[in-house]
Amino acid sequence: MRTLKSQPFVSMVLVAINVIVFIICHFTDDLLYDLGVLDLYSVMVDKEYGRIIWSTFLHSGMNHLFNNMLILFFMGSMIEKEVGHLGYGLLYFLSGIGGNLLSLWAKMKNHEIAVSLGASGAIFGLDGVLLALVLFSGRQMENVTPLRVGIMIAYSLYSGFTSKNVDNAAHMGGLITGFAIMGIICIWQRRKRERREGM
C-alpha cells in the first residue's frame, strides 16, 4: 500500500481547483475572467498584482483546460514524488509567476494589449524542473532521460510558436524559472552530499 507521502495530492488538488474554477466561469459569464486575466494595464497601472497568480487558474475553453490538466497531473505526479509535496507546490507557483512576469515584460516591450490566461507557464516550469532533475540531481528516474525531456520541451515550444493566440513568453518564462530554481537546488544538494561523503 502506497504511503500518504507518495500520493500526488498536490497535483490532484491543483487539477481539482482548475476544474472547479472553469465550471464556475461557465456559470458566471465573464466575471472571473474580468477579475483574473493577465493584462498589462490592470497589473502595472491598477496594481492588481494578484492577477499574476489568479490568471494561472483560468482557461479559455475545454480543450485548453483538458490539455493543461492532463500534463499537470501525469508530469506533476512524477515530479511531486521526486521533490516532495511542499517543494513541488512552490516550484509550480514560482514557475507560474516567473512565466507571467516575462509575459508582462514582453507585452510592455511590444506594446501589446492582449490578455493572457492558463496554467501553461507553470506547466512549462515543470518541464524545466524535470530537465534539471535528470541533468543535475544524479538520481535515476524510470523512463526519463535528458534526450526524452529535451524532445518533449522542443516539441511543446514548437507547437506554441506555430500556433495562434499563444503566450510564448509565459511558456519561456515558466520553463526558465523552473529549470533555474531546480538546477540550483540540485547542484547545491549534490555538493552538500559530496562534502559529507568526503569527510
Summarised one tens digit per residue, pLDDT across range 147-178 is 999 999 999 999 999 888 899 999 999 999 99
The residue annotated as part of the active site, out of 77, 116, 120, 137, is 120
Q: What is the per-residue pLDDT for 51? A: 96
As a whole number, mean pLDDT of residues 60-69 equals 93
Closest by Cα among 36, 71, 58, 92 to 153: 71
136, 139, 141, 143: CA torsion to nearest 10: 70
Asked about 77 being catalytic, the answer comes back as no
Does the pLDDT of residue 1 top 60, yes or no?
A: no
SS3 114: coil
Does the pLDDT of residue 2 top 60, yes or no?
A: no
The residue ranking higher by pLDDT, 194 or 129, is 129
Q: What is the per-residue pLDDT for 3? A: 65
Q: What is the per-residue pLDDT for 192? A: 83
**Lowest-confidence pick of 23-27, 136-140, 155-159, 172-176:** 136-140
pLDDT digits 0-9 by tens, 90-99: 999 999 999 9
Q: What is the per-residue pLDDT for 77? A: 92
Asked about 59 being catalytic, the answer comes back as no
**Sequence-distant (≥ 6) Cβ neighbours of residue 24 within 8 angstroms:** 32
Residues in a beta bridge with 141: 144
As a whole number, mean pLDDT of residues 135-139 equals 83
pLDDT digits 0-9 by tens, 111-122: 988 899 999 999
CA dihedral sign of residues 130, 134, 137, 141: positive
Q: What is the per-residue pLDDT for 198? A: 66
Instruction: Find where cell 535515476 sits.
Output: 140
Q: Are 32 and 58 in contact (CB under 8 A)?
A: yes
The residue annotated as part of the active site, out of 59, 116, 137, 171, is 171
SS3 173: helix
Average confidence score pLDDT of the chain:
91
pTM of the model: 0.91
